[in-house]
């Protein structure tokens, strides 16, 4: 081999260096020394550096080279995944991986020699990356021939959206259940397996698409369909039929990105032709998910430095080939941003709401505007719960607001509404608003544009607009500013808001901190406030009122501009003003909510809300302080803002009743707040759970004993030979277990991955887990629901204990209102059902569910499917059981069952 660079591979089972002379095992110190002296080839430098204990490790990361050569193409970021993506054989033994990485580097560097679809733009990008001293540039740039004609700049090659005439209101059309069943038969195809449950589901779902008969009373259908019913096609059948006949869009809302991707795949049955499907099916997400072209342009022209500037160049390569510009869950590999500083990716999106709309030179090519306009003409819009609520509450698209919704993963509606309609008057939130108004201040970097810069040419149309902007800028200087957290902690707050936060911090520590506190967040009810807090509330309210007034005045002035329609107000200018009005209304609404919360300090409590004070901490480090307000029942605003204007809504899930009955399902979806009650449908899973699964409750692992917990996880994972999803209720315990067992499992040839440990995003961790039947994955709540890993890759689920809800102020209030311990029991049943649901995803799956808790109450065992064997066993017995059941083809179950 003539390739000069060594390759480094580090795992929990060892560290190896490969050169032209061969491969050898090395120590951690030697590996760090080699990597610091010469560029070494690695796969995921961030992960390799973590395993070496050397966070600043850098070199020739194959993932970066892959992202340059194959933008918008995903590869699982493991040796196996990379081998499959580039057509190489994957070595079986781990000590051969380092040599494989050298082969992979040569294969990737040879890509420009062949037929390469992503050639355009590569030469220009390579010149920029050379100037930025990208480690791969000296190796890849000489292999790229200079084009005879200058390559098009990214911003000139992106397609422009075209203005479309307003879409007529959907027609009123009948919807018969038999018609939905017929459409379902077309989608499943001739000769498909007969699925009575799916057919009945489609017929029941069709009621959500019938004409509405009472104003503000949508046709609401609650449908609980067990895993394997096929509910996706079950609701796509009536939804597509209605959209086709009525000429209107159906918004299908999910909670997880995984289901969004699955839905996009399923719609291929509706529209097999890819070009037609792109027009008829659109995926929508919040603005903060999409690449902002103006932010990218600024980053490419010097706004980013160092590694962040390299990320900007790779993102620009991706943007030229991306289907939709979605940086979170789209075709940008989820692992790419994690290779760089975390603030780099965030700065490339519009997460602060600073968009200037038609004032942006890239407005006609904007990914966000593309998605918004495409969704206005689509039949099926795939969205998420948060976006649906944001659009309904403060969206600009009032004329195209959907009338029909499908809420899949409907058991998450309560939590999504709880987050959406909450109020948080905290330091982090106020400094964010300050930046939105003022823009960059002394010493700050970045593209931020303040309110004056965004609106000066529009608002200068009259004196009133200018005065409102000036007043807002003056008032915003009273908000928390850079360094506020340190000043508050030191007892030296500056300004009325920081003084308020200091009083909040003092009272929270006085009431909530306990001896031996481990450094977690603190909170206490906003009741009987201290004199210091009462005294600080009035000046803070005055400061916020001084900001609210000019924001409202500016919004009214801009509305007057639209009404008066001056000569300069052409189409783009109108769009810009409308966008500014919507953005101002959102901020004014936020400040008004803060004022309402401050009015509670020293005043009477509002029974509709739960208010508290909090100091947010991670491992003892404070990162935010403030006052919080949540609706006691967040489905009230959800019903008012989303459901009542709609004509029909199907809410569906495999666990919709949430460990209770239909009354629980109704209460958690907003149905009681509607004038017309919902219809109900239930179909149990067709899977043979008693034959394919069992539940083992381990009785001899002491709660809170990390070494014992780690030993249990290690033995169970080894018994199953991997394929294990480990679920935790606390990050600290997850990290403690991972640190004790990763090396032990690696010696057995079993890979272990973990949330909050590996520097990899959750979606990619699941992809890695799915790709390797011998791998295991540890995680928290995010993995308890929405993870779809069928087959051998997931055959054992282990929970560290009973998933009781965290005893927060908010939970205590809802528990009191919801029936006390019965409320807690419903939550636990729902969580157990969701966790168990990860195990059997198709008819031929098999596996075991292990709960490491002697204190599991028998009354909660009905969370599991009827007939499933439930045994209380020792750890030794559980290990023997898992070994026998999961290492053979013998069916699981049909054993002793503890009655619920």
Q: What percent of the chain has pLDDT over 70?
A: 94
Give the DSSP per-residue string, 499-560.
HHHHHHHHHHHHHH--TT--S--EEEESSS--HHHHHHHHHHHHHHHHHHHHHHHHHHHHHH
**Residues with Cβ within 8 Å of residue 188, at least 6 apart in sequence:** 195, 198, 233, 269
Give the residue among 723, 718, 721, 757 at the shortest CA–CA distance from 739. Answer: 757
pLDDT band at 890 (very low <50, low <70, confident <90, very high): very low
Q: What CA–CA distance (Å, rounded) separates 520 from 20?
A: 50
Q: Exposed (0-12), middle (13-18) or buried (19+): which is 650, by Cβ within 10 Å?
A: buried
Per-residue pLDDT tens over the stretch 728-786 = 988 889 999 999 999 999 999 999 999 999 998 888 999 999 999 999 999 998 788 76
Phi, psi (rounded to 5 degrees) for 743: -65, -40
Q: What CA–CA distance (Å, rounded) separates 246 from 403?
A: 11
Q: What CA–CA distance (Å, rounded) separates 647 from 220?
A: 9
Q: What CA–CA distance (Å, rounded) separates 463 from 329?
A: 45
pTM, full prediction = 0.92
Per-residue pLDDT tens over the stretch 150-207 = 888 888 889 988 888 888 899 999 989 999 999 999 999 877 777 899 999 999 999 9
Instruction: Give the Cβ contact number of residue 771 at 10 Å.
Output: 16
Q: Is the pLDDT of residue 13 over 90?
A: no
Per-residue pLDDT tens over the stretch 389-415 = 998 887 666 666 899 999 999 999 999
Distance of CA 206 to the CA centre of its chain: 30
Distance of CA 78 to the CA centre of its chain: 22
Length of the chain: 900
Q: What percent of the chain has pLDDT over 90?
A: 66
Could you give the count of Cα atoms lying within 13 Å of 627 in the half-sphere of its Cβ?
31
Cα-based distances in Å from 205 to 233, 236, 379, 719: 11, 9, 17, 43
What per-residue confidence (pLDDT) applies to 893?
46
Instruction: Give the Cβ contact number of residue 678 at 10 Å.
Output: 24
pLDDT band at 900 (very low <50, low <70, confident <90, very high): very low
Q: Exposed (0-12), middle (13-18) or buried (19+): which is 125, by Cβ within 10 Å?
A: buried
What per-residue confidence (pLDDT) applies to 892?
46
Can you tell me the mean pLDDT for 145-152? 86
Q: Is the pLDDT of residue 898 over 50?
A: no
Per-residue pLDDT tens over the stretch 837-851 = 999 988 889 999 999
87 phi-psi bin (left φ>0, alpha ψ -120 to 50, beta other): left
pLDDT band at 45 (very low <50, low <70, confident <90, very high): very high
Give the residue among 114, 158, 408, 143 at the shortest CA–CA distance from 260. Answer: 408
Give the residue among 127, 142, 144 at the shortest CA–CA distance from 316. Answer: 127
Q: Is the pLDDT of residue 894 over 50?
A: no
Can you tell me the mean pLDDT for 231-259? 93
Q: Is the pLDDT of residue 447 over 60?
A: no
Joined together, the tokens standing for residue 795 give 């055959």
- Specify the range with the lowest mean pLDDT, choosing from 254-268, 542-556, 652-666, 849-863: 254-268
Q: Which residue has the tokens 């993102």?
A: 315
Calculate Rg over the CA atoms of the chain.
29
Can you tell me the mean pLDDT for 569-580? 75
Q: Exposed (0-12), middle (13-18) or buried (19+): which is 428, by Cβ within 10 Å?
A: middle
Q: Is the pLDDT of residue 108 over 60?
A: yes
What per-residue confidence (pLDDT) applies to 333?
92
Q: What CA–CA distance (Å, rounded) separates 590 from 593?
A: 5
Mean pLDDT over each residue of the chain, to the nearest integer: 90
Cα-based distances in Å from 414 to 458, 636, 823, 846, 860: 40, 10, 14, 32, 22
Joined together, the tokens standing for residue 825 give 């029991």
**Residues with Cβ within 8 Å of residue 763, at least 6 apart in sequence:** 257, 258, 329, 334
What per-residue confidence (pLDDT) applies to 889?
46
CB distance 815 to 828 below 8 Å: no
């Amino acid at each position: 081999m003539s390739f000069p660079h060594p390759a480094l591979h580090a795992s929990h089972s060892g560290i190896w260096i490969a050169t032209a002379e061969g491969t050898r095992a090395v120590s951690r110190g030697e590996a760090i020394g080699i990597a610091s002296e010469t560029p070494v080839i690695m796969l995921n430098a961030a992960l390799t550096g973590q395993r070496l204990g050397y966070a600043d490790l850098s070199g020739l990361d194959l993932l970066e080279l892959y992202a340059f050569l194959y933008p918008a193409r995903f590869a699982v970021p493991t040796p196996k995944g990379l081998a499959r993506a580039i057509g190489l054989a994957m070595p079986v033994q781990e000590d051969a991986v380092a040599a494989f990485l050298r082969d992979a580097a040569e294969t990737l560097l040879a890509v420009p020699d062949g037929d390469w679809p992503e050639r355009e733009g590569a030469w220009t990008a390579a010149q920029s990356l050379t100037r930025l001293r990208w480690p791969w540039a000296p190796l890849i740039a000489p292999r790229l021939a200079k084009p005879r004609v200058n390559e098009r700049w990214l911003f000139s090659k992106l397609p422009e959206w075209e203005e479309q005439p307003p879409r007529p209101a959907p027609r009123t059309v009948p919807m018969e259940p038999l018609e939905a069943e017929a459409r379902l038969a077309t989608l499943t195809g001739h000769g498909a397996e007969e699925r009575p449950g799916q057919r009945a589901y489609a017929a029941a779902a069709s009621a959500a698409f019938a004409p509405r008969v009472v104003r503000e009373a949508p046709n609401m259908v609650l449908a609980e369909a067990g895993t394997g019913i096929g509910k996706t096609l079950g609701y796509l059948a009536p939804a597509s039929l209605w959209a086709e006949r009525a000429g209107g869009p159906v918004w299908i809302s999910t909670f997880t990105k995984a289901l969004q991707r699955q839905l996009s795949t399923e719609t291929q049955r509706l529209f097999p032709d890819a070009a037609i499907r792109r027009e008829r099916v659109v995926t929508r997400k919040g603005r903060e998910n999409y690449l902002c072209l103006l932010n990218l342009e600024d980053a490419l022209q010097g706004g980013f430095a160092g590694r962040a500037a390299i990320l900007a160049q790779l993102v620009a390569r991706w943007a030229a080939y991306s289907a939709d510009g979605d940086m979170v869950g789209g075709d940008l590999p989820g692992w790419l941003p994690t290779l760089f500083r975390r603030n780099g990716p965030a700065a490339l999106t519009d997460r602060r709401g600073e968009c200037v709309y038609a004032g942006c030179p890239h407005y006609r090519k904007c990914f966000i505007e593309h998605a918004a306009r495409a969704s206005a003409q689509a039949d099926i819009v795939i969205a998420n719960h948060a976006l649906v609520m944001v659009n309904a509450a403060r969206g600009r698209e009032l004329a195209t607001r959907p009338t029909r919704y499908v809420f899949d993963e409907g058991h998450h509606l309560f939590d999504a509404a709880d987050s959406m309609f909450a109020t948080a008057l905290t330091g982090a939130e106020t400094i964010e608003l300050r930046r939105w108004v003022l823009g960059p201040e002394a010493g700050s970097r970045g593209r931020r544009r303040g309110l004056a810069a965004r609106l000066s040419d529009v608002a200068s149309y009259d004196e009133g607009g200018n005065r409102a902007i000036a007043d807002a800028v003056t008032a915003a200087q009273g908000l928390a500013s850079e360094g506020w957290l340190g000043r508050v902690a030191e007892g030296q707050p500056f300004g009325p808001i920081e003084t308020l936060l200091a009083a909040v911090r003092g009272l929270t520590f006085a009431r909530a901190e306990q001896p031996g506190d481990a450094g977690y967040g603190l909170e206490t009810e906003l009741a009987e406030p201290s004199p210091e807090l009462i005294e600080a509330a009035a000046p803070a309210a005055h400061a916020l009122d001084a900001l609210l007034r000019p924001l409202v005045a500016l919004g009214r002035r801009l509305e007057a501009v639209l009404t008066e329609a001056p000569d300069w107000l052409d189409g783009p200018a109108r769009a810009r003003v409308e966008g500014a009005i919507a953005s101002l209304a959102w901020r004014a609404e936020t400040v008004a909510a803060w004022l309402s919360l401050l009015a509670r300090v020293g005043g009477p409590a509002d029974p509709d809300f739960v208010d508290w004070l909090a100091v947010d901490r991670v491992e003892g480090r404070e990162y935010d302080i403030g006052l919080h307000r949540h609706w006691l029942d967040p489905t009230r605003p959800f019903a008012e803002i989303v459901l009542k204007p709609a004509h029909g809504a199907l809410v569906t899930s495999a666990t919709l009743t949430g460990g209770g009955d239909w009354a629980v399902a109704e209460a958690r979806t907003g149905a009681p707040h509607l004038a017309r009650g919902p219809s109900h449908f239930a179909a149990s899973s067709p899977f043979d759970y008693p034959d394919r699964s069992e539940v083992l409750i381990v009785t001899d692992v002491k709660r809170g004993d990390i070494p014992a917990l780690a030993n249990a996880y290690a033995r169970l994972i080894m018994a199953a030979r991997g394929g294990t999803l480990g679920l935790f209720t606390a990050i600290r315990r997850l990290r403690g277990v991972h640190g004790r067992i990763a090396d032990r499992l690696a010696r057995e040839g079993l890979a272990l991955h973990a949330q909050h440990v590996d520097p990899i995003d959750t979606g990619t961790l699941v992809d890695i887990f799915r790709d390797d039947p011998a791998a295991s994955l540890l995680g928290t709540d995010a993995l308890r629901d929405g993870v779809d890993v069928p087959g051998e890759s997931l055959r054992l689920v282990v929970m560290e204990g009973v998933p009781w809800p965290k005893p927060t102020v908010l939970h205590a209030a809802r528990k009191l209102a919801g029936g006390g311990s019965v409320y807690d029991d419903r939550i636990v049943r729902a969580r157990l059902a969701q966790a168990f649901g990860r195990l059997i995803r198709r008819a031929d799956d098999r596996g075991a569910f292990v709960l490491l808790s002697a204190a599991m109450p028998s009354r909660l065992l009905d969370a599991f499917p009827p007939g499933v064997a439930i045994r209380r066993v020792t750890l030794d017995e559980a290990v023997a059981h898992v070994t026998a059941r999961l290492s053979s083809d013998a069916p699981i179950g049909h054993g002793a069952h503890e009655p619920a």
